[in-house]
Amino acid sequence: MKVKEWLLACLFAVLTIVGAFVRIPLPVVPLTLQVLIVLLSGFVLGPRYGMLSQVVYLMLGLCGMPVFSGGGGIGYVLSPTFGYLLSYPVAAYVVGVMSPGENAAFSRFAIASFTGLTVIYILGATILYLNLRFIADKGADLVQVLQVGVLPFVAPDLLKAIGAAFIARKTSTVIRLN
Calculate mean pLDDT across residues 93-119.
94
State the Cα–Cα distance between residues 174 and 103, nearest whole angstrom. 11
Task: Note the CATH number of domain 3-175.
Answer: 1.10.1760.20
Mean pLDDT of the chain: 92
Question: How confident is residue 168, by pLDDT bands cut at 50, 70 and 90?
Answer: very high
State the Cα–Cα distance between residues 74 and 2, nearest whole angstrom. 29
Give the predicted TM-score (pTM) of the model: 0.93
| Confidence at residue 70, expressed as pLDDT on a 0 to 100 scale | 81
More confident site: 141 or 103: 141
Question: How confident is residue 1, by pLDDT bands cut at 50, 70 and 90?
Answer: low
In the chain, domain spans: 3-175
